[in-house]
Amino acid sequence: MARLEIYALGEVEAGARSLAEAEKLGYVPGRREAAMLGDGYLRRATASRSRAAVLTGEQRMRELTKARDDYQRCITYFDPIIAFGHAAQNLEICKAQLLRIDRQIEQELFGS
C-alpha cells in the first residue's frame, strides 16, 4: 500500500503511516522502504521548488520552506542506505538542492 501511496499518488505521509501500521503488525522495514520514503520526499521537494520558481512573496517563501524540509527528510532517509540502489546519487541531489534552497531563502529574507 505504501508504494502506491508514495509513487502513484504522491502521498508521502500516507505511505509513512502505512509503513508505521505495518510495523505495528510485525513488519520489519528495510532499505527498500527507506529508499521509497526518500524518493517520495525528493519528488515532493522538487515539486515545491518548481512551484516556488513561479511565485512571489509569502507563497514563494512557503514553497521554499516546504522544499527545504522535504530535502532534509530526503537526506535523513538516504544517508543510512547509500550502498542501496540509487541512494548515494539521490542523497547528493538532495544535499545540493538543500544548499540551493538555503541560499534562495537567505536572499528572500536578507536580499542579495
pLDDT in tens, the chain (112 residues): 999 999 999 999 999 999 999 999 999 999 999 999 999 999 999 999 999 999 999 999 999 999 999 999 999 999 999 999 999 999 999 999 999 999 999 998 887 6
Q: How far is residue 108's CA from residue 14's CA, in Å, rounded to a whole number?
A: 32
Is the pTM above the cut of 0.75? yes
Whether 101 is in a domain gets the answer yes
Question: What range does the domain containing 55 cover?
Answer: 34-110
Is 14 part of a structural domain of the chain? no
Domain count of the chain? 1
* Residue 83 included in any domain: yes
Assigned domain for 46 exists: yes
What are the residues whose beta carbons fall under 8 Å from the beta carbon of 16, sequence distance 6 or more? 2, 37
